[in-house]
Amino acid sequence: MKKEIPEFYRRYLQTRQQSLLADQAQGLTWRGLGLGCFLSFFLAIGDPYGNMIIRGSYMALDFSTPGALFLFLVLTGLLNLFFKLAGRGKTASLVFAGLVCLAWVWHYWPFTHLDPYSPGLIFSSFLLGCALLNLPLAWRGATLALNRADLILVYAMLLMVSAVCSMGLSEQLLPMITALFYYASPQNKWQEKLFPHLPAKGLVDDGQGNRAFYEGTGGAGHIPYAAWAEPLLWWGFFLGCLYLSMVCIAVILRRQWMERERLPYPITQAGLALVRGEQEGQLVNRFFLQPAMWAGLAFPLVIGSLQGLQRYFPATPALRLQWQLPLVGQQFLQVSISFAMLGFSYLINTSIATGIWVFHLFSKFEKEALFLAGMRSEVKLMYGVSDAPLLAYQGVGGLLILALGGLWVAREHLLQVLQRALGRGNMGIDEGEILSYRKALLGTVGGVGGMVLWLWYLGTPLWISLVFVGAAMLIFVAVTRIVAEAGLAAVRSPMTAPDLVIQGLGSTLVGPTGVVNLSLAYIWAADIRIFALATCANALKLVEEMDLRSRRLVFAGMVAALIIGVGGAVWMIFEMAYRHGGVNLNPWFFNGAPRGAYDNALSHLAAQGVDWLGLGFLGGGAGVMGLLLWARQRYPWWPLHPLGFPIGAESMMDYVWFNVFLAWLIKGAVLRYGGAGQYQRSQPFFLGLIAGQVLCNGLWLCIDYFTGKVGNSIFWI
């Protein structure tokens, strides 16, 4: 019997949520695009500035995208309110413009110390421009206020920027392609052993060991722009292929995940709640009129502010949010409270939540059993399950099967995509997509092919390039699946693709130049706690309720945001490094991460064979994951969701599991004694927890910016 979605139900799926935009008289406007471009640029420059100059809380570290959510809260709660008030008439617009002008002049007078790289000056100047632009608009009866469709566009753009402005790319890129020449010394033997195997392109060498980049010029020295041009062009080509393939894969999988499998995308719920709260004719966003939301917001805001004040006044009391408890043998349980993680975890399906915390506890006992059995690996890992490499192999095996199993389940849909790309099959199947399936498939093949050829041209064996890029993309797809289905706001692969290929297959097969090339892939495929495929998938969830024209306009905005995000962040990091010196900025990105990558490459230059023990654990993890997926499909009563298995031992879960467990416990009690209605009514409180932590981090970054305080990090996850 042929299995397919009935046509009447397909039409229902296409229109089931039009209520979000049904009461909106307007679609997308130029205001949304303009404000989205500016806020994208501001996030791109603001987050690196915040964690490198102010050294405060990270705002683009994980899939929770706190920087995007903070700016969106400011937009919906303050800016849009001001725009509505200023658009009520000529007098209101004059008052708004006058107050903004007076504040700007009063703060910057006599204009002798204006710093063009200052986020404060850039943002305040933008507000001044908005106030002046609002004058002719208000006189014509128009306004700068955004509607729901505009807000969706802005938030989708901010999500895309979050994936590239910090941990996801930009703060990894510039230090990694320069550090080899600056940190090379007789002690580490990089020059002697690594230099002969360096790729011909892609690295920056200004002839002086990149000293100016790491030690600074004070703003007056010469910047060797010529040394940067060619390497950045080479990396621009590679990254263009990477993001092209990610966006196209997200488009291809959208219908399968959203309409066929009905994945919940819990991380998008905070942004959607703010969009739903926007009402035409209503001054204040309804999200901010809920007492339960404010009750939830107060907890992280007060507790985090006490921690912030303690950095200024050490006598200020602050609550402890982390504990360590003995479990078994040498294993300990990390008990950490993150209000945002608790809020997101409350939206997770209870079966998935059970699998997450149960498999994490199981991994602790498995680590102890391996230790007692004397089963140890000589593999050294920087990321993932670094304290138990065999479990890293096991986890990544499960992750690969999760991706491949998902593709197998989607085989009917993927066949339809292929048929449509070839001009056969259902010609209307991709009518609602932001990109036709033909273009998406060509983009995927072209992007992946471009990455493979790039690595091969730089000296990596062709078959190794194919295996590596394939493994990396499968890992990205699997983690994206976990984010979309489980809603984990902080998750990463138990083993990175470079480590899997270099250490699993051995340097004898990879070759010395291949080892160096794959070590450079740490830039985009190693400690990546956020990446564009997952944020693009969440953004596509936001736009599913829009008409086709609006979807494609939002897609154009998302692509623009990627370009703005990479360009703005690279510009800010470049300028900060040459002005202040990279060694005086974030020590992890400018020292720890690049040193670790090149030391890792050096340790694997010696001939090493296939790690059969590790690959055995990889096969075992794949087998167990396959059985778990089969049990989940075969037996509806099966209690443990398999998503928790591949990530159970990963170090990030030490800080995540207790929040998932606590949310699971609370949600179970609410559903048992209050029912689905009470659970629905309780959600604003937990959304308030998310908003409160995000606001606390953002507000203290602003306070520290004005006071000059350094190192005041509040919540880091």
Per-residue pLDDT at 219 exceeds 80 = no
Q: Show Cβ contacts of residue 225 under 8 Å, excluding neighbours closer than 6 positions.
A: none
Share of the chain above pLDDT 90, in %: 82
> 636 falls in which pLDDT band (50, 70, 90)?
confident
- Residue 261 backbone phi and psi in degrees, to 5: -95, -15
For residue 12, being part of any structural domain is answered with no
> 281 falls in which pLDDT band (50, 70, 90)?
confident
* Cβ–Cβ < 8 Å for 562, 243: yes
For residue 715, being part of any structural domain is answered with no
Q: What is the pLDDT of residues 418-465, one digit of tens each?
A: 999 988 877 778 888 899 999 999 999 999 999 999 999 999 999 999
> 548 falls in which pLDDT band (50, 70, 90)?
confident
**Mean pLDDT across 536-540:** 95
Per-residue pLDDT at 9 exceeds 50 = no
**Mean pLDDT across 81-102:** 93
Q: Residue written as tokens 């703010």?
A: 274
In the structure encoding, which two tokens stand for residue 534, read together?
Answer: 């997952």
> 20 falls in which pLDDT band (50, 70, 90)?
low
pLDDT of residue 24: 55
User: What 3-state DSSP class applies to 458?
Assistant: coil
Total structural domains within the chain: 1
For residue 163, being part of any structural domain is answered with yes
In this structure, the chain runs to a length of 717
Instruction: For 444-467, give one letter per residue: b (16+ CB within 10 A) or e.
Output: beebbebbbbbbbebbbbeebbbb
Per-residue pLDDT at 16 exceeds 80 = no
Share of the chain above pLDDT 70, in %: 96
Q: Which of 21-35, 47-61, 695-709 has the lowest mean pLDDT?
A: 21-35
For residue 634, being part of any structural domain is answered with yes
Q: What is the pLDDT of residues 221-232, one digit of tens each?
A: 788 999 999 999
pLDDT of residue 222: 83
For residue 4, being part of any structural domain is answered with no
Q: What is the DSSP string of 21-70?
A: HHT-S----HHHHHHHHHHHHHHHHHHHHIIIII----SSSSTT-HHHHH
pLDDT of residue 470: 97
Q: Is the dihedral of CA 595, 490, 554, 10 positive or negative?
A: positive
Per-residue pLDDT at 107 exceeds 50 = yes
**Mean pLDDT across 637-666:** 94
- Residue 336 backbone phi and psi in degrees, to 5: -130, 140
pLDDT of residue 307: 95
> 23 falls in which pLDDT band (50, 70, 90)?
low
Q: What is the pLDDT of residues 348-387, one digit of tens each?
A: 999 999 999 999 999 999 999 999 988 877 778 889 898 8
d(CA 702, CA 708): 10
pLDDT of residue 113: 82
User: What 3-state DSSP class applies to 325?
Assistant: strand
pLDDT of residue 370: 92
For residue 127, being part of any structural domain is answered with no
Q: Which of 139-143, 147-151, 172-176, 643-647 has the lowest mean pLDDT?
A: 139-143
Q: What is the pLDDT of residues 688-709, one digit of tens each?
A: 999 999 999 999 999 999 999 9
Per-residue pLDDT at 560 exceeds 90 = yes
d(CA 203, CA 599): 17
User: What 3-state DSSP class applies to 332?
Assistant: strand
> 25 falls in which pLDDT band (50, 70, 90)?
low
d(CA 601, CA 29): 50
Give rounded-to-5 percent helix, strand, coil for the chain: 70, 0, 30
Q: Which domain holds residue 183?
A: 28-87+143-705
Q: What is the pLDDT of residues 234-268, one digit of tens each?
A: 999 999 999 999 999 999 999 999 999 999 999 99
pLDDT of residue 22: 56
Per-residue pLDDT at 15 exceeds 50 = no
**Mean pLDDT across 301-310:** 96
**Mean pLDDT across 85-93:** 90
